[in-house]
Amino acid sequence: MKIIIRNSSPDPIYKQISDQLRGLMITGELKAGDVLPSIRNLAKELRISVITTKRSYEDLEREGFLETVGGKGTFVAHQNKEFLKEQKLKVIETKLIEAVDEARMLGLKKKELKEMLDVLYE
Amino acid sequence: MNKILEINNVEKSFEGFKLDKINFSLNKGYIMGFIGPNGAGKTTTIRLIMNLLKKNSGDIKIFGMDNVADEVTIKDRIGFVYEESYFYEHLTIKKMKEIISPFYSRWDDEKFDEYCDIFGLLPKKKIKDLSKGTKMKFSLAVALSHHAELLILDEPTSGLDPVFRDKLMDILREEIQDENKSILFSTHITSDLEKIADYITFINDGKIVFSDQKDILLENYKIVKGDTKILSAEIKNQLLGVKENKFGFEALCNVEKHSIFSQFDIVTEKPSLEQMMVYLSNKM
């Protein structure tokens, strides 16, 4: 499990952690049922405050990615692959919407944008 | 009982200085950084907590007990490091330890030896022959060797080099792993707290300016930089401290106020605790 904190990032540390953990779950590096380090242990290892790691875990719990079982620890939640895929699709969709908006502002035609996508896909 | 330390409306006046009805509390299992410029009241507050000074009014509860009425019980469970050395200078480390250890019901010789090892303390050395940093290390070893549930550290890092400060932060992180210990850590070296602290209490001129989760604090403020031409009187009014020079300005502003710059070309950055302390102290 790799987590890297960038001091230069404009994102707050708690978000950097939850983004990276979410990424690891989506790519399957962290699988359903896997145990995560305790908030205190993660804070110690990353040399950050406990409240920061707590907030990352809480965000991921709210989104359904993590489950905390009292006295046992925090686990990757059993959610179906469809749900994860849905999440990923949502991310792609938002980015595409952004691209479409930008293209419209530039007065680019749909065909031209498609051509750009075709080139990028290769 | 989640609150390990509660300070309610505490007042103390000296000639020319007043601690003005201060309030803050610390939860079990967390680290609080206590920051402020020299003379702001950090040490006075800590001495009041330790009952080394008598307060004029208000109350202080530690582990849910009154800090004066239950002083002996409380102090057994506190590890205290004071800015200045309070040991008998002519004694050796070993002798001094033998005097201190019987005061603590849960003194742990093994732990003490372990810390002497880590800190490079030689038991046979006389305290008067120790450097400032080494005396601090000895205080820390004592504070950490009796299974204290609350560590109160007053400027513990001021005489220490960055390498040892870093090691100390690791030791403190290790200390809070069991969820039952809390740490109150006063310092003006805010970089030590930047990462480790869960809560920050900022005192200036005897008043608590804020006491909150560090992450929330840092998210509530922004540093903005830009051309001084932007600074109309109206905009200046909304800022929490501004520094101007020939080529531009730098200011601290509240996140909600950030939109006043929406039409201007500015640079926005995350503030450091040090920047917040400097700007908010100048403001008053």
Tell me: the pLDDT tens digits for A89-114? 888 999 999 999 999 988 888 899 99
Phi, psi of B111 (to 5 degrees): -65, -40
B30 and A51 within 8 Å at the Cβ level: the answer is yes
The candidate with the shortest Cα–Cα distance to B5, out of B52, B50, B56, B40, is B50
For residue A112, the tally of other CB atoms under 10 A from its CB is: 12
Alpha-helical regions (H) of B145-247: 162-175, 191-196, 214-220, 233-238
Confidence band for A80, pLDDT divided at 50, 70 and 90:
low
Residue-wise pLDDT tens digits, A25-55: 888 888 888 999 999 999 999 999 999 999 9
Q: Does A10 touch chain B (CB under 8 A)?
A: yes
Q: Does B27 touch chain A (CB under 8 A)?
A: no
ipTM of the complex: 0.70
Q: Smallest Cβ distance to A50: which of B170, B176, B218?
A: B176
Distance CA B133, CA B161 (A): 8
First to last CA, chain A: 31
Distance from CA of A49 to the nearest CA of B (A): 5
pLDDT of residue B284: 47
Distance CA B284, CA B279 (A): 9
Task: Let me know the angle formed at the C-alpha of B77 by B135 and A73, rounded to the nearest 5 degrees.
Answer: 105
For residue A118, the tally of other CB atoms under 10 A from its CB is: 9
Q: Does A49 touch chain B (CB under 8 A)?
A: yes
Delimit the domains of chain B by residue range.
Answer: 3-212, 218-283
Answer yes or no: CATH 3.40.1110.10 is held by domain A13-76. Answer: no
Distance from CA of A79 to the nearest CA of B (A): 30
pLDDT of residue B105: 95
B213 and A47 within 8 Å at the Cβ level: the answer is no
Distance CA A95, CA B26 (A): 43
Q: How far is CA B115 from the centre of its chain?
A: 22
Confidence band for A11, pLDDT divided at 50, 70 and 90:
confident
Tell me the CATH number for domain B3-212: 3.40.50.300
Delimit the domains of chain A by residue range.
Answer: 13-76, 81-121
Q: Are A57 and A39 in contact (CB under 8 A)?
A: yes
Maximal CA-CA distance, chain A? 58
Enumerate residue ranges in chain B where pLDDT < 70.
Answer: 1, 283-284
Q: Cα torsion for B86, B90, B94, B98, to the nearest 10°?
A: -60
Substitution target in A51, A52, A54, A58 with the highest count of B β-carbons within 10 Å is: A51
pLDDT of residue B84: 77
